[in-house]
Amino acid sequence: MDDTDSTGIELTKSEARKVINALSEYETRASGQREEERVLNVESLLQREFGFEEGQARDDRNIADVFSNIFNDDDGTHEVQLSRTEATEVVRALDDFDGQERSGETGTVRNIRDRFVQTFDVDDAGDGRTAGR
């Protein structure tokens, strides 16, 4: 896959929330302006695609989503189109997010990260090399 080609990945609303949370924490540590813009663009794309208002996705305890998840089995799955370069930033953000102590999130974050790695053919370090799987 070329870095500029886009590929789709299916995410649920709760998975998108985890990715947005990881990206929002990662963006404060982004090293370059292009990298930071890419992270913000992916974060904005996910917010629009899943109907989150600004900042809403960053709160895992959103009461409307809690009730929606209890009464609605459809978690709002959407296919999101990202480039390999954008996916690499997501993998990096999820790696950082997974490295932080978060009770109950580790398995979910790793699962999401692994799906990005496989779908976009990037390695676990997120440096854009092929995974070799």
pLDDT in tens, the chain (133 residues): 566 679 999 999 989 999 999 998 887 666 677 888 889 999 999 999 998 876 655 544 444 444 444 444 455 789 999 999 999 999 999 998 887 755 566 788 999 999 999 999 987 554 444 444 3
d(CA 76, CA 53): 15
In a domain, 128, yes or no: no
- Sorted by sequence, the CB contacts under 8 Å of residue 65 that are 6+ apart come out as 13, 14, 17
In a domain, 21, yes or no: yes
In a domain, 1, yes or no: no
- Predicted TM-score (pTM) of the model is 0.76
d(CA 118, CA 130): 9
pLDDT recorded at residue 107: 84
pLDDT recorded at residue 20: 93
- Say how many domains are in the chain: 1
In a domain, 111, yes or no: yes
In a domain, 16, yes or no: yes
- Structural domain range at position 98: 6-120
25-to-19, 74, 102 alpha-carbon distances in Å: 10, 28, 13
